[in-house]
Chains A and B, each alone.
Chain A
Amino acid sequence: MGNASSAIESILSGASLTDVDVLKATESFPDYAVLPNVSVVKVGGQSLIDRGKAAVFPVVEELETARKKHKLLIGTGAGTRARHLYALAADLGLPTGVLTDIGTAVAGENAAILGYLMAKYGVPVVNVSEFAALPLFLAERNAAIFPGMPPYDMWQHVPSEGLIPPYRTDAGCYLVAEVYGCKQMIYVKDEDGLFTANPKQDSKAKLIPKATVDEVIAMDLPDLVIEGPVLELMRNARHVKSVQVINGLKPGLLTKALAGEHVGTLITAA
């Protein structure tokens, strides 16, 4: 811990936090996992919730059954209403920060919907500002629902091209899993995983069952099933070094994925 205690000394003595040697010294601290037994499950907006009852009810039932065995943090996507908001606001030339703010509300609406559906099981919706209460909900109810957008609002990164917020609900859910040192991150979408092209537009698209972050980036795919920035975040992960994308329209896959089975696309940090 010599390196570590000298790191604290230099931080306190006013060494510049832009000094890469000071930053390197902070590597030597251990990584404490805050909620290590929790699985984060993201329920897609456009891919699932926008499909209504026929798609959502089976997923809710599967989550309810899984809750008896697993501790679940359930994040929500935004979906088609966010796309409408983004298109409208972008056409008006509004900044990415405003798009983020209004898109965040849509993920919140979807969290509210899931919350009403799971209310009878005692599963609460917990907003980001109330995350300090998550451990209690997870201990008492084994589950909580949260809106998947990261709370960047007007401070969202601006994309190098266009106006769409780069860090959306895939990134927000991933960062929840990573910061809490969770066991796993599962994205429940409407495709079997990552394909070589968007399978909704290209019938020749092939499933990629497993790939590293570097491999996915090197493929330079025209479209992705998961937000690109998640791949960048995974490179620097301390805890969550793999994520799985599964098809929530096929009953049973979520249960298997939670049990650690490979039933979709596994993306690993290395």
Chain B
Amino acid sequence: MTSDTTAQHVPSALMRQTLLNRDLVRPATNRPVIRMLPQLRVVKLGGRAILDKGRDAILSVIDELKQALPERNLLIATGAGIRGRHVMGVSLDMGLPTGVLAALASSEAEQNGHIIAALLAEHGVSYLPHTTVGRQLAVHLAASPAAVCNGFPPYELFDHPPAVGKIPQHRTDAGAFLIADAYGAKQLVYISDVDGIHDADPRQSSGAKLLKSVTVDELSGMNLKTLPIERIVLDLMRSAKHMTQIQVVNGLERGNITGALAGKHVGTIVRR
């Protein structure tokens, strides 16, 4: 080291850059992204949609997931559901910040993950914490037909302050999307308790019509009051490297999960 204050640089295409000048960054980062796990299928199990409904709904979903096990390469991400909402409600009342809400609700999604993993344990399926999903998913899926993870991304205290309100934006739909895209997964299926995305909330409007197929732009343009998936997923789809299509299916109807995992169109397909 010299005794002056000159920085010592490691030679690289990005040396000395702030990484914020697009014209300088572009030439060094314009390669297409590889698919790390091209056979991976990610399934997000809704907390409120499936887990909160209890034994019958959960065991029916588990039964269908078991049928998908022989094909291997399944990552099952769980939602938080009503306990996540409760802990966010208690924390909101105390004025705690969004990041704290995210960390606490994430803990509840994890508990749902442990429940799903326990039901699939005899088939060699375990719950994997974030660090293992991020770094050792390959070996786990080589040794086991499936793994279960927390749908929440590991943002926790570092979740972004939302533009409106204080509920964390990166919840379990966003987390499942981000990990599916990072690994270059083959597909991502959201298991809901409605048939897909409707032109109005089907829980409130009996005349709501199912959208079988819709683009991200069309869906954003409709300004629907509610969606069965987190809104931020649409934004994430716009910049995704691989995951340009998702499907939302009704997991309470027998055969839908199996169909969707076999690549059939049984719910709403959202495309970029």
Q: Which residues of B sit under 8 angstroms from A27, Cβ to Cβ?
A: 164-166
Q: Does B143 contact A (CB under 8 A)?
A: no
B150 CB to closest chain A CB (Å) equals 11
**Is A258 interfacial (CB-CB < 8 Å)?**
no
Which residue of the partner chain A has the closest CB to B182?
Answer: A97
Interface residues of B in 1-53 (CB under 8 A from A): 1-23, 25-26, 28-34, 36, 48
Q: Which of A156-179 contact B (CB under 8 A)?
A: 156-164, 168, 172, 175-176, 178-179
Q: Is A65 an interface residue (CB 8 A)?
A: no
Interface code B145-186, partner A: CB below 8 Å = 1, 0 otherwise? 000000001111110111111110011000100110111100
Shortest CB–CB separation between residue B73 and chain A, in angstroms?
Answer: 17
A and B contact pairs by CB, cutoff 8 A, 19 listed: A12-B86, A16-B227, A17-B171, A19-B226, A23-B165, A32-B95, A50-B8, A80-B10, A84-B15, A86-B14, A86-B19, A91-B31, A152-B153, A158-B241, A168-B19, A176-B157, A235-B163, A237-B161, A238-B97
**Cross-chain contact B165 with A55 (CB below 8 angstroms):** no
Name the A residues within 8 Å of B3 (CB-CB). Answer: 53-54
Q: Which residues of A contact B165 (CB under 8 A)?
A: 22-27
Residue in A4, A23, A50, A53 whose Cβ sees the most chain B Cβ within 10 Å? A23
CA distance A225 to B241 in the complex (A): 27
B129 CB → nearest A CB, Å: 11
Known: A21-B225, A26-B165. 9 other contacts (CB 8 A): A17-B167, A51-B6, A55-B5, A80-B9, A80-B16, A162-B25, A176-B157, A233-B161, A235-B163
B255 in the interface (beta carbon within 8 A): no
Provide the bound-state CA to CA distance between A150 and B101, in Å: 17
Q: Is the CB of A172 within 8 A of B4?
A: no
**From B7, B92, B131, contact of A8 by CB (8 A):** B92
Q: Which listed residue (B2, B157, B178) contacts A156, Cβ 8 A?
A: B178
Asked if residues A91 and B154 are in contact (CB atoms below 8 Å), the reply is no
- Specify the main secondary structure of chain B where it touches its partner: loop
Most buried by A among B5, B26, B34, B36: B5
* B201 adjacent to chain A (CB < 8 Å): yes
Name the one of B9, B15, B19, B131 contacting A164, with C-beta atoms under 8 angstroms: B19
Are A81 and B134 interface neighbours, CB within 8 A?
no
- The interface of chain B, by Cβ under 8 A from chain A, is 1-23, 25-26, 28-34, 36, 48, 82, 85-86, 88-89, 92-100, 130-131, 133-135, 153-158, 160-167, 170-171, 175, 178-179, 181-184, 201, 225-227, 229-231, 236, 238-241
A90 to B32, CA, bound (A): 9
Q: Which of A40-69 contact B (CB under 8 A)?
A: 46-47, 50-55
Q: Given A32-B94, A154-B179, A179-B99, answer yes or no on A84-B18 (Cβ-Cβ < 8 Å).
A: no
Residue-wise, chain A 65-85 has the 8 Å CB interface mask toward B (1 for contact) of 000000000000000110110
Tell me whether B14 and A157 are in contact (CB under 8 A): no
Please state if B18 and A225 are interface contacts (CB–CB under 8 Å): yes
- CA of A159 to CA of B166 in the docked complex: distance in angstroms? 24
* Among candidates A34, A128, A162, residue contacting B97 with C-beta atoms closer than 8 Å: A34
Distance, CA A238 to CA B99, complexed state (A) = 12
Interface size of A in residues (CB-CB distance below 8 Å): 89
Chain B residues, Cβ within 8 Å of A128: 157-158
A83 touches B10 (CB 8 A): yes
B12 touches A83 (CB 8 A): yes
What residues of chain B lie closer than 8 Å to A168, measured between beta carbons? 19
Identify which of B10, B11, B20, B134 contacts A223 (C-beta below 8 A). B20
Among A14, A17, A172, point to the contact of B82 (Cβ < 8 A).
A14
- A159 to B, closest residue via Cβ: B239
From B9, B94, B133, B171, A154 is in contact (CB under 8 Å) with B133
User: When chains A and B are docked, how far (Å) is the Cα of A14 from the Cα of B171?
Assistant: 15
Question: With A20-B164, A29-B93, A86-B19 in contact, is A151–B226 under 8 Å at CB?
Answer: no
- Contact call A51/B239, Cβ cutoff below 8 A: no
Q: Are A50 and B7 in contact (CB under 8 A)?
A: yes
- Which of A8, A18, A233 contacts B230 (CB under 8 A)? A18
